A and B are shown apart, each in its own frame.
Chain A
């Protein structure tokens, strides 16, 4: 089995899954992930719908996505154990070492901050990559298109300042 599928096959597979989820034969709704994250967070921190208006608003959609995320975890685990065989405990991505630093502490602190910003931002915007860019874009939703432009634009600008310049390899 190949260890990775090419971009076009990934795109085709993903859109087939999107058709299934979107159609009445599947779930009759598009895929989203960050509302599920917010829902799981509310369970962990004991925030319920009676006391927090936000949880009352997202409860239904959040529970659906939380269950889906359970599936996501096992889907990833299955592939990493049996197909890509890439499962192993790791702390710092290779590219981070190359363009940032070798410090586990630094990577962990930045991961926490970045995770915080990602989710706070996703909640503020009402969606993330999945809900806004992929599902929103597929429905030609203006909210998704505006989100994509600002999120990716900011990402590129931040990346320029946050990481070191690319080192030219002479090999």
Chain B
């Protein structure tokens, strides 16, 4: 096991996607932003799907709206490359349904797991354990599941349907998200557990 752990750092640093330091810094800020915006809280993530809080959709929409425009120009001027996940319809839909059920019950996504554990939440840690077992079962079953995941529709993007108007579509997409985020009402679940401590 120790060998595998050392090897992990070795693979990561030789993959051509930044030095170990850069990867750790990206993770550090990712975790810090999640925690500082309280995106990791059950009350925010599960709360948004039972209409108790609107922080998660608003923050996610701003992130995607700004990033989509930034990414467009980064790629346009060769400062970045798109890495599009293929649309394997059966796998994506079946996976999304399972994911959605898990998400509203646990109230954390796979990165917020770790953030919540770092805040001392035991239920999040149990969720991580469940996730570890879930991944292992998937890895074990993968050869037999592969056939059922459906046709690979390729690396489709929304702009693929509007050839020649990529920039316009990106701006409209971004604008709609920003406007929706702005218009969504401010609903905030006030957690008394946050008030009691100093």
Contacts and interface: CB of A to CB of B under 8 A. Distances in A.
A92 B198 CA distance: 20
Contacts of B65: 11
Interface residues of A, number: 134
Interface SS majority for chain B: helix
B133 A10 contact: no
Given A75-B27, A123-B138, A84 B105 contact: no
A166 B43 CA distance: 13
A68 B52 CA distance: 31
Contacts of B17: 27-29, 64
Contacts of A12: 62, 66
B37 A47 contact: no
Interface in B62-100: 62-68, 70-71, 74, 79-89, 91-100
Interface in B120-138: 120-124, 126-138
A128 B109 contact: yes
A17 B191 CA distance: 28
Which interface class (under 10, 10 to 19, 20 to 34, 35 or more) fits B? 35 or more
B179 interface: no
Contact of A120 (B22, B98, B127, B156): B98
Given A27-B17, A74-B118, A121 B31 contact: no
B158 A150 contact: no
Contacts of A168: none
Contacts of A13: 33, 37
Contacts, number: 522
Given A64-B12, A166-B52, A147 B95 contact: yes
A80 to B, nearest CB: 4
Given A14-B33, A116-B133, A72 B101 contact: no
B191 to A, nearest CB: 5
Contacts of B198: 85
B100 A95 contact: no
Nearest to A97: B193
Interface in B132-147: 132-140, 142-143, 145
A50 B1 CA distance: 15
Contact of A75 (B97, B113, B115, B127): B115
Contacts of B74: 19, 22-23
Given A147-B96, A156-B104, 17 more contacts: A5-B36, A22-B70, A23-B74, A27-B26, A47-B136, A53-B143, A64-B12, A72-B28, A73-B117, A74-B31, A112-B126, A114-B130, A120-B137, A125-B94, A138-B71, A143-B85, A156-B50
10 contacts: A11-B63, A93-B41, A94-B191, A108-B122, A112-B133, A113-B105, A114-B127, A117-B99, A117-B102, A160-B50
